[in-house]
Amino acid sequence: MPNAMPISSNKDKEREFVFTGADFNKIREFVKQETGITLSDAKKNLVYSRLSRRLRQLKMDSFKQYFTLVQQPKSPELIDFINAITTNLTSFFREKHHFDFLTETAIPSILKANAETRKVRVWSAGCSTGEEPYSIAITLRNAIPDIDSWDVKILATDLDTNVLAHAERGVYDYERIDGLDGKIVNKWFMRGQGEHAQSVKVSSQLRNMITFRQLNLMGQWPIKGPLDFMFCRNVVIYFDKATQRVLFDRYANLLRANGHIFLGHSETMFKVSDRFKLLGNTIYQRVK
C-alpha cells in the first residue's frame, strides 16, 4: 500500500464505529480496483455514513470485519457495497441545453445520415434512477414524428443495481415532475390512484424504447455500436485522468463519425482526449 497521510478528525471519536485513515485507504483502493472510481480525502465522512448503515444491517462491530466480508471471492456483499458507495443525483431534463441541442441539431442530422437504415442507437451511461434516459426518449419522440417506423433503441446502464431497479419500474414521486411542461406531463406520465395518488408512472411507449442493464465501465461492454449519441454526465468526474483517457477512447470507438457525447457541467476533455471537439456547453462531437 502506498504511504499516505493519516486522515482523522474530532468526529472520529464520536462515531458509532471506529473508522481510521487506514480503513478509509483500504476501502478507496478497493473501490478504485473494482470500479475505477477515485475517492478523495473529502469523501471519508460520506463513505463512513453510507457503509455504517451496512454494518448495522449486518450486525457487525467493525469496518475491518465488514471489509473482510466484501473482499471474499464472489462475496454476496460486493453489490451492496458498490451500491452504497455510488452517488446518484439526477432529474428530468437536467441541463436543458443538452436536450435543446438534440432537438435542434443532433436529431435532424441523425435522421438524414440514417435515412436508409432508419436506426437510432443511444447510450445513457450512468443513468441513475432513469430520469435521463426517459428524458432522451421523450425528446426523440417529440422530434421524430414518424418514430414508430424507425428502429430506435436506448441502452441505459449504471453500476448501482438499486437505482436501475427504480429506473426500470418507471415510477416516481409526483414532486419529481413538478415544474415540467404540462404538455409533457399529460402525454408521458400517468398519475396513480388512491394511495398511489402522489406518484406517477412513465408511459409504456417510453419504457419500451429503453433497455436497462447493470454495467461496470471498467469491464467488458456488451455494446456493438455505432452509437448516434451518448450521455455520460457526472460519471468521468469520479475517475482519474488516466482512466478518463481510456474511457473517452472507448467511447469514440463506439460512436459513429460526427456522433455526439454529452458530459456533466463540471467535466471536460481538455488535455484528456483529442478524438472529440468541443461544440460548447459540455457538448462534444467525435472527430477521429
3-state secondary structure of 245: helix
Element (H, E) at 154: strand 151-158
Contact 81, 96 (CB under 8 A): no
Domain ranges of the chain: 10-85, 96-286
Topology of domain 10-85, per CATH? Chemotaxis Receptor Methyltransferase Cher; domain 1 (1.10.155)
Q: What is the 3-state secondary structure (H, E, C) of 212-243?
A: EEECCCCCCCCCCCCEEEEEECCCHHHCCHHH
| Nearest residue to 83 via CA among 166, 162, 169 | 162
Exactly one of 80, 158, 160, 228 is catalytic; which is it?
158
| Tens-digit pLDDT string for the chain (288 aa) | 344 433 444 444 468 999 999 999 999 999 998 888 888 898 899 899 999 999 999 999 999 999 999 999 989 999 899 888 877 778 999 999 999 999 999 999 999 999 999 999 999 999 999 999 999 999 999 999 999 999 999 999 999 999 999 999 999 999 899 889 999 999 999 998 887 888 999 999 999 999 999 999 999 998 989 999 999 999 998 899 999 999 999 999 999 999 999 999 889 999 999 999 999 999 999 999
Instruction: Report the alpha-carbon angle 207-211-214, nearest 5.
Output: 130
Number of alpha carbons in the 13 Å side-chain half-sphere of residue 136: 28
Task: Please indicate whether residue 80 is annotated as part of the active site.
Answer: no
Exactly one of 12, 50, 169, 191 is catalytic; which is it?
50
- CATH class, domain 96-286, is alpha beta
Predicted TM-score (pTM) of this structure: 0.83
Task: Please indicate whether residue 50 is annotated as part of the active site.
Answer: yes
